[in-house]
């Protein structure tokens, strides 16, 4: 099991946006603990390819769905219940990012980012709330350090991730103590090798040095934190947003 030395053979995990990138790393990590994993992505081709590759690691099920669609979420829940009969961990990872000047950003574009990043998480949480309460489960939302800091022209993404952080503590109060709800806000996570084509981006020394930890993050960093949050032994931790950025948001930069 390597770094992921936790036994979850009796647990079922549902991960959104997991055909590649951070979501794929999350799926791998939970499979390596013995959990059964259902993962959702709207990219059917990538999802089926990932399912075939991951089948050697454990019991995995891919469902093609757009989490911003209420009917699609309901159908996905039914499929997981039919296949695995329960749910213990929900990870809302699905997200889209749009960088566009404010005055050029259309309402349709703004709404699409919020629909996937924020409304999608709401729909999944609402759909699974009863089952997670019954199983005394865990919800983990994947937000971003963009909820607390910004680059120009990222209004829709920042707003959606800020909303996800707020949704996290609201859910923790509404669903607790039966369900624990926490949020991970990653910083710079290099997912280039997990994109279509799998070409690793060459990072410079300056890229790494701007992080107090000394390096840019990788998807397995997020997966390890998600495993920690899913561990029943950590049942005193809820309603929190954990920033995972190598200390980057704490570093003052003067030019």
Catalytic sites, residue numbers: 157
* Residues 128 and 14 sit within 8 Å (Cβ to Cβ): yes
List C-alpha distances in Å: 254 to 58, 135, 210, 251. 49, 50, 12, 10
Q: Which two tokens stand for residue 43?
A: 């990219």
Candidates 134, 124, 126, 2; CA nearest to 67 is 124
| β-pairing verdict for 36-41 and 180-186 | unpaired
| β-pairing verdict for 60-64 and 89-92 | unpaired
- Give phi and psi for 2, each to the nearest 5: 65, -130
Spatial distance between the Cα atoms of 51 and 67, rounded to a whole number of angstroms: 18
Spatial distance between the Cα atoms of 154 and 147, rounded to a whole number of angstroms: 11
Candidates 137, 145, 148, 161; CA nearest to 229 is 137
Residue given tokens 């404010």 in the structure block: 102
């Amino acid at each position: 099991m390597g770094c992921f030395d936790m036994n979850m053979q009796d647990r079922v995990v549902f991960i959104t946006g997991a055909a590649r990138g951070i979501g794929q790393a999350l799926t791998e990590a939970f499979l390596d603990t013995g959990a059964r994993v259902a993962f959702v992505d709207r990219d059917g081709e990538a999802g089926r390819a990932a399912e075939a590759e991951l089948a050697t690691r454990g019991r995995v099920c891919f469902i093609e769905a757009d989490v911003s669609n209420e009917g699609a979420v309901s159908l996905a829940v039914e499929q997981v219940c039919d296949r695995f009969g329960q749910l213990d961990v929900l990870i809302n990872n699905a997200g889209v990012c749009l960088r566009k000047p404010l005055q050029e950003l259309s309402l349709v574009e703004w709404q699409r980012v919020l629909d996937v990043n924020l409304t999608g998480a709401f729909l999944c949480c609402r759909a699974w709330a009863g089952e997670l309460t019954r199983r005394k489960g865990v919800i983990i939302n994947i937000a971003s350090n963009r909820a607390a800091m910004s680059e120009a022209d990222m209004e829709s993404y920042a707003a959606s991730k800020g909303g996800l952080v707020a949704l996290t503590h609201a859910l923790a109060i509404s669903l607790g103590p039966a369900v624990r709800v926490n949020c991970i806000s990653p910083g710079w996570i290099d997912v280039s090798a997990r994109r279509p084509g799998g070409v690793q981006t060459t990072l410079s020394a300056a890229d790494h040095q701007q992080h107090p930890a000394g390096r840019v993050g990788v998807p397995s960093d997020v997966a390890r934190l998600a495993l920690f949050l899913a561990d029943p032994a950590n049942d005193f931790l809820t309603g929190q947003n954990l920033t995972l950025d190598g200390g980057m948001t704490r570093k003052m930069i003067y030019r």
